[in-house]
A and B are shown apart, each in its own frame.
Chain A
Amino acid sequence: MYQYDKYDQGMVDARVEEFRDQVRRRIAGDINDDQFKPLRLKNGLYLQLHAYMLRVAIPYGTFNSVQMRKLADIARKYDRGYGHFTTRQNIQYNWIKLEEAPDILAELATVEMHAIQTSGESIRNISADQYAGAAADEICDPRPWAELIRQATTFHPEFSYLPRKFKIAVISAPEDRAALRWHDCALRIVRNGKGEEGFEVYAGGGMGRTPFIAYKIRDFLPAQQIFSYLQAILRVWNLHARRDNIHKQRMKILVHELGEEEFRRQVEEEFQTFLALATDFPQAEYDRIAAYFTPPPFETGLGDEIDRSDPDFALWVDRQVVAHKVPGYAIANISLKPIGGIPGDISAEQMDIVADLAERYSFDEIRATHAQNLVLPHVRKADLYAVWQALDAAGLASVNLDLVTDIIACPGLDYCSLANARSIPLAQKISERFANMERQLDIGELKIKISGCINACGHHHAGQIGILGVDRKGTENYQLLLGGSGAEDTSQAKITGPGFDEAGIVDAVERTVERYRELREPGERFLDTYRRVGLDPFKEAIYG
């Protein structure tokens, strides 16, 4: 994976000192909270319900054992012994003190980590396929491009005071594991007829209160021109977005208002301007970055057989293990969704165990997924049993990848100052309701996504079953949505009808699932059945 050189290190070190100075000026009263807020947000520091919250970037979801151990140390030393993996492949801490935040950033910098642009109206952490470099179906590793874009968009002078946040994702496989088209700008690496690498570019997606699925703005962009093209998109948006209403300043709104054709025309025109400025990074720099992502020294001649004599292990293998591009290796998914647990939460002790496993069995690599799980990307099949035993002992061997209990949930009203309703208790109750393994396997793929407010951090618009918490006259109320997808068959979920209280929504989810089991044809996932029969049969089951 990528390693900082003196320049990268110098940037994060300077950032720490800059933030230390900003905190000093805030505590001294030189700047007020209105002025300080954007500065702390650009360093991932929020003020939440109970304390400050710090969001640490995990660029394109890739990190190593040293970094994971540092995350564990920070959890113990500055927080309350745990962290929370987010839907943008980042990790956040819930109990941070402002006066300690600069020290935490300084500790992160010692392991080549930071919190730069993890919040605020900035170009956010670049997300990517969590199986990058390991997936059997990818055409290349997308991370060198993600890293190049990370550098190009870090402290960009023209685009550091954007109208709103701006999210970029990069993948290179036909299967979309990164919720690509729900991003402001989404890049899929493809090859043209001449075998050259380039990007299929999508723009104008996003969740929030006004969801849009990104549309394809370019079939093929020569890879070397990506920075020019991104700057063109950003400039069109920066110049023309509304600035009078925070809820209408995301790029998706501008794209929608201008129309796809006009937006594309303006971007292409601005693109010519940027091309002439020659700001694109040269091939040599791409090559330098890509060298850090050469495949690890995989052994050859390994067998593919797995000893399945332990039935619990076999169950885990069948669900959590995914095909690797190299024979004899596998991708192991670590669920952070135990039954009744808090989605994405992980204790410092568990972090240390995952770090040990990565170091010993996965060429020192760990991945975070947008579904709030972790991945050991390069495990020898012969080692899977040892990995599973260690995970099982640490409470990390839940079997539920993409099943009904693998629920995405935002922190909700238990932690978040923006939330209208709690998300986590719902996730806990739904997972308890469907705890039975046979039942889960019978239901098959079913992605439930819960947000505690319309900002949609819990991706409810992309939920096969989505749940949105709202505030109805001071009490928590939950709307049910069906039919969303964040995969390659992207779609936006639709609201079924009137909302429910907490007990009612869990029952409504169960009635939805039972109706699916009645209606499904052989081989159909929930989403397939929903698309075939439509909303009505489900409404009937839900509302009677």
Chain B
Amino acid sequence: MRILTGNDLKSGAVIWWTGHDWSLHVEDAVDVGEHGEAVLAAEDGARRVNGGYIVDAEATPEGPRPAHIKDRIRALGPTVRPDLTLKPADPTAGDWVI
């Protein structure tokens, strides 16, 4: 599947395209198929995303898992600071990245 990501212009937070809005959680990302470029152009123009791009991902029962480690680190947070990730209470969250 192909999903969309970028950073929020004002906060810089990593965001994922849910089909109608942006979410902080990669689990909410939807497959955009062939429409990625069009969505990005519109959202970038409206300044709802900064530096948006298309990511290849694998559909899993837990939700989309980006193909590249860089996007998995973006989705979770720094592997060296589990306390600062989106899942600070889950000690195994980092396994999903590697």
8 Å CB contact of A97 from B11, B51, B67, B78: B11
Q: Please, which residues of chain B bring their CB within 8 A of the CB of A422?
A: 73, 79-80
Q: Mark A35-54, 1 if CB is under 8 A from B, else 0.
A: 00000000000011111100
Q: Please, which residues of chain B bring their CB within 8 A of the CB of A33?
A: 44, 50-51
Interface bin, chain A: 20 to 34
Task: Give the secondary structure class of B's interface.
Answer: loop
B65 to chain A, nearest CB (A): 13
A273 to chain B, nearest CB (A): 42
Q: What is the interface size of chain B, counting residues whose CB is below 8 A from a CB of the partner?
A: 23
Pairwise interchain contact B78-A475, C-beta atoms closer than 8 A: no
Pairwise interchain contact B80-A342, C-beta atoms closer than 8 A: yes
Q: Please, which residues of chain A bring their CB within 8 A of the CB of B14?
A: 49-50
Q: Please, which residues of chain A bring their CB within 8 A of the CB of B78?
A: 49-50, 94, 414-415
The reply on B84 being an interface residue by CB < 8 A is: yes
Q: Mark B2-30, 1 if CB is under 8 A from A, else 0.
A: 00000101111110000000000000000
B45 and chain A: residue at smallest CB distance: A29
Pairwise interchain contact B12-A98, C-beta atoms closer than 8 A: yes
Pairwise interchain contact B70-A49, C-beta atoms closer than 8 A: yes
In the complex with contacts A33-B50, A49-B74, A50-B77, A475-B69 CB distance below 8 A: yes
The reply on B47 being an interface residue by CB < 8 A is: yes
Tell me, in angstroms, the Cα distance from A306 to B50 when the chains sit together.
57
The reply on A474 being an interface residue by CB < 8 A is: yes
Instruction: Name the interface residues of A127-154: CB closer than 8 Å to any CB of B.
Output: none
In the complex with contacts A27-B10, A47-B7, A51-B11, A474-B68 CB distance below 8 A: yes
Pairwise interchain contact A47-B69, C-beta atoms closer than 8 A: no
A377 to chain B, nearest CB (A): 30
Instruction: Name the interface residues of A469-509: CB closer than 8 Å to any CB of B.
Output: 474-476
B39 to chain A, nearest CB (A): 17
B46 and chain A: residue at smallest CB distance: A29
Pairwise interchain contact A47-B50, C-beta atoms closer than 8 A: yes
Q: Mark A419-451, 1 if CB is under 8 A from B, else 0.
A: 100101100100000000000000000000000
Instruction: Name the interface residues of A93-125: CB closer than 8 Å to any CB of B.
Output: 94-99
B76 to chain A, nearest CB (A): 9
Tell me, in angstroms, the Cα distance from A14 to B81 when the chains sit together.
37
The reply on A384 being an interface residue by CB < 8 A is: no
The reply on A413 being an interface residue by CB < 8 A is: yes
Tell me, in angstroms, the Cα distance from A422 to B80 when the chains sit together.
9
Pairwise interchain contact B50-A425, C-beta atoms closer than 8 A: no
Q: Please, which residues of chain A bring their CB within 8 A of the CB of B12?
A: 47-48, 50-52, 96-98
The reply on A80 being an interface residue by CB < 8 A is: yes
Tell me, in angstroms, the Cα distance from A413 to B70 when the chains sit together.
7
Tell me, in angstroms, the Cα distance from A97 to B79 when the chains sit together.
21
Q: Which residues of B contact A (CB under 8 A)?
A: 7, 9-14, 44, 47, 50-51, 67-70, 73-74, 77-81, 84
Which 6 pairs show the lowest CB-CB distances between chains A and B?
A51-B12, A414-B78, A52-B12, A424-B80, A99-B10, A97-B11
Q: Which residues of A contact B (CB under 8 A)?
A: 26-27, 29, 33, 47-52, 80, 94-99, 342, 413-415, 419, 422, 424-425, 428, 474-476
Can you sample 8 A-B contacts with CB below 8 Å? A33-B44, A95-B84, A98-B10, A99-B10, A413-B73, A414-B81, A415-B78, A474-B68
